[in-house]
Amino acid sequence: MTEGKKMSKCYHKLKLYVDSRMDEEHFFKSIFILALLQHNNRNIKKIIKNNFIKYCKKILNETDIYKIYKETKESLFKDGVINEDGELVLCAPYENFDNLTDYEIYDLIEFCEEKIEQYLKERSIVAA
């Protein structure tokens, strides 16, 4: 974070949600959120599934990808993180994804990637 730069409440809520824990379920949620951030909050099923394949190919077989994608989307909806259309909505009242600055989006993308990589690294150490 740049010193003196005030970040939006939406930014803080998304970052806190991603950082709240990192078990397998939250790992999948972070992949979904990352794809939405990378693609301007558009729920493009193929892109999100490709993100799952990219990050999960060592821990999932491809036949499970669609199932995990669907379960993750449902779980994020129940948590109030995305709406019925699969768009991010976990923001403060009177804020939405469009209130995020380019810097905030970039920082959230970087943060999600770090959390995902950290989870994969820890999992490979445990599995070794």
Structural domain includes residue 4 = no
Residue 82 DSSP label:
B
Count of the separate structural domains present in the chain: 1
What mean pLDDT is predicted for residues 24-53?
A: 86
Report the distance separating Cα 72 and Cα 29, nearest Å. 6
Structural domain includes residue 95 = yes
Of 14, 22, 66, 5, the closest CA to residue 41 belongs to 14
Report the distance separating Cα 9 and Cα 108, nearest Å. 13
Residues 62-110: tens digit of each pLDDT: 788 888 888 999 999 999 888 888 888 887 677 778 889 999 999 999 9
Residue 105 domain boundaries: 9-127
Report if pTM > 0.75: yes
Going by pLDDT thresholds of 50, 70 and 90, the confidence category of residue 4 is: low
Please say whether the dihedral angle defined by the alpha carbons of residues 100, 19, 31 and 83, taken in this order, is positive or negative: negative
Structural domain includes residue 21 = yes
Residue 49 in tokens: 């599934």
Q: Residue 84: its pLDDT value, please? A: 87
